[in-house]
């Protein structure tokens, strides 16, 4: 059987001399490599070699070495040990190797359904919640499958022109151009998008097909209205070693692209000069009362959105990449406690004139106004008007 031929057939080994010995050793090494590789990697069950037990090589009959048998065997054994050591170190645990290199060793692609759920409501985010021109809503979702050689965006790094254009205006032209260029380098697998959501709460979905060479997922969705704020995921790995993950749910929080210095949802265009890094927005950062996400009583912001990924059991087929289909099994509704919003008032105005008869004394007033109404059991507003006794100016003149 060809799979069991150790040295290869044909030829007069006696006439080969020393060169024949080198050829024999070379063939022995090749077969030894195969035997060692087979011992740490399962053989193909359809291969005729899979059922053959490994056995140490033996010299063919009729071989007449020009060196002593002991020297020949010792040299051959040393080479064999080196080969075994190298292959043992290289085969190891496939999962551990993949964990170090970030490579996916799965044999086949995987199909996932991705569901984006917006949770931006006046109950969870009451401060300056946009009600009109335009009301709170979500842009289209942009998703890219890629390898570790590509990044759609990164926290702590400067945003690309494509990210800037999308985060500020919701325009995808530059992002698509960047992804196509990276795809030519085989750093990007595919690019997907879903329709926008015309409200702060709602769902959109699409189906993804990930290849082993591009097992990472990155995505972005812009908040509308906002200066340059978005939610997203950077390089989510859906493959661990040789296994695709079955299901994942992630909470999403807002990020600032660092290209516009606006503080509120409806801030006018105010370019950041110089451009700043992409940063995560929290309940304390930016630390300014005017910021739309500033909630000093909260240790952290509630999720602004979530994504849910589930692997499809059927074989991946070519899908419409602009799908927005109904889910076969609806996701569980998530309930978050209402975010308390304290009342905010302005500073006191200056005292007014002191008015009143001299015999009874006068009274003066000052006022302040509401900057932000309380919501969701937040601290109520204090008094907006204050008065104090005083001596009218004309009475002081008479005295």
Count of the separate structural domains present in the chain: 3
pLDDT value for 363: 87
Tokens 């074989």 sit on residue: 315
137 and 255 part of one domain = yes
Q: Which of 311, 328, 355 is the last residue of a domain?
A: 311
135 and 212 part of one domain = yes
244 and 186 part of one domain = yes
- CATH number assigned to the domain comprising residue 390: 2.20.100
- For residue 101, the 8-state DSSP code is H
26 and 138 part of one domain = no
Task: Say how many C-beta atoms besides its own lie within 10 A of residue 231's C-beta.
Answer: 26
Alpha carbon of 47 to those of 4, 38, 106, 242, 300: distances in Å? 12, 12, 21, 22, 58
278 and 378 part of one domain = no
- Strands of the sheet containing 110-119, edge to edge, are 201-210, 110-119, 305-311, 247-252
Q: At what angle do helices 161-169 and 173-184 cross, to 10 degrees?
A: 150
> Using CA atoms, how far apart are residues 296 and 288, in angstroms rounded to an integer?
10
- CATH number assigned to the domain comprising residue 223: 2.60.40.2130
Tokens 């190891």 sit on residue: 92
141 and 227 part of one domain = yes
pLDDT value for 387: 87
pLDDT value for 330: 42
Domain that holds residue 59: 2-92
Please check whether residue 302 lies inside any domain of the structure: yes
Q: Which residues contact 100 (CB under 8 A, 6 or more apart)?
A: none
pLDDT value for 209: 95
**What is residue 174's three-state secondary structure?**
helix
370 and 231 part of one domain = no
Q: Which structure tokens are listed for 314?
A: 């059927």
Q: Which structure tokens are listed for 358?
A: 């001299």
Residue by residue, pLDDT tens for the chain (399 residues) are: 433 322 233 333 333 344 444 444 344 444 444 444 344 444 443 333 444 444 445 555 554 445 566 666 677 677 777 665 655 544 444 333 333 345 899 999 999 999 999 999 999 999 999 998 899 999 999 999 999 999 999 999 999 999 999 999 999 999 999 999 999 999 999 999 999 999 999 999 999 999 999 999 999 999 999 999 999 999 999 998 889 999 999 999 999 999 999 999 999 989 999 999 999 999 999 998 889 999 988 999 999 999 999 999 765 444 444 444 444 444 444 555 677 777 888 888 898 888 888 877 888 888 888 877 777 767 788 888 888 888 887 787 665
Please check whether residue 339 lies inside any domain of the structure: no
Please check whether residue 61 lies inside any domain of the structure: yes
156 and 295 part of one domain = yes
pTM of the model: 0.62
**What is residue 372's three-state secondary structure?**
strand
State residue 39 phi and psi, 5-degree precision. -70, -25
**What is residue 271's three-state secondary structure?**
strand
Please check whether residue 318 lies inside any domain of the structure: no
Please check whether residue 18 lies inside any domain of the structure: yes
Q: Which residues contact 43 (CB under 8 A, 6 or more apart)?
A: 49, 50
Q: Which structure tokens are listed for 360?
A: 């009874």
Please check whether residue 100 lies inside any domain of the structure: no
36 and 159 part of one domain = no
Please check whether residue 293 lies inside any domain of the structure: yes
List the beta bridge partners of residue 308.
115, 249
Please check whether residue 322 lies inside any domain of the structure: no
> Using CA atoms, how far apart are residues 294 and 265, in angstroms rounded to an integer?
12
121 and 73 part of one domain = no
Closest CA to 163 of 106, 221, 217: 221
pLDDT value for 379: 77
What value does the CA radius of gyration of the chain take, rounded to a whole number of Å?
A: 36
133 and 277 part of one domain = yes
384 and 295 part of one domain = no
């Amino acid at each position: 059987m060809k799979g069991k031929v150790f040295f290869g057939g044909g030829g007069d080994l006696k006439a080969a001399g020393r060169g024949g010995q080198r050829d024999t050793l070379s063939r022995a090494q090749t077969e030894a490599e195969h035997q060692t590789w087979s011992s740490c990697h399962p053989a193909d069950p359809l291969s005729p070699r899979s059922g053959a037990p490994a056995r140490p090589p033996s010299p063919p009959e009729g071989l007449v070495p020009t060196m002593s048998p002991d020297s020949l065997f010792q040299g051959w054994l040393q080479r064999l040990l080196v080969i075994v050591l190298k292959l043992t170190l290289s085969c190891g645990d496939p999962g551990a190797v993949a964990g170090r290199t970030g490579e996916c060793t799965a044999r086949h692609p995987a199909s996932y359904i991705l569901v984006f759920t917006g949770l931006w409501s006046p109950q969870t985010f009451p401060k300056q919640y946009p009600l009109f021109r335009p009301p709170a809503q979500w842009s289209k979702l942009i998703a890219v499958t890629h390898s570790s050689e590509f990044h759609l965006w990164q926290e702590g790094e400067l945003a690309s022109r494509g990210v800037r254009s999308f985060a500020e205006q919701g325009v995808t032209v530059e992002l698509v151009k960047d992804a196509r260029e990276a795809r030519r380098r085989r750093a990007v697998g595919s690019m997907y998008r879903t329709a926008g959501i015309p409200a702060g709460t709602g769902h959109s979905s699409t189906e993804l097909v990930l290849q082993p060479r591009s097992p990472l997922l990155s995505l972005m969705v812009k908040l509308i209205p906002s200066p340059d704020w978005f939610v997203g995921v950077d390089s989510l790995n859906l493959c661990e070693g040789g296994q695709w993950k079955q299901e994942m749910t992630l909470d999403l929080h807002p990020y600032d692209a660092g290209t516009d210095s606006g503080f509120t949802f409806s801030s006018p265009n105010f370019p950041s000069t110089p451009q700043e890094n992409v940063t995560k927005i929290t309940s304390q950062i930016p630390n300014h009362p005017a910021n739309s996400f500033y909630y000093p009583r909260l240790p952290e912001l509630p999720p602004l959105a979530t994504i849910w990924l589930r692997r499809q059991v059927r074989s991946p087929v070519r899908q419409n990449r602009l799908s927005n289909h109904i889910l076969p099994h609806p996701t569980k509704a998530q309930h978050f406690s209402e975010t308390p919003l304290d009342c905010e008032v302005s500073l006191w105005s200056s005292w007014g004139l002191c008015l009143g008869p001299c015999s009874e004394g006068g009274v003066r007033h000052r006022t302040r106004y509401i900057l932000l109404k309380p919501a969701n059991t937040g601290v109520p507003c204090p008094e907006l008007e204050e008065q104090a006794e005083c001596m009218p100016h004309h009475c002081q003149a008479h005295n």
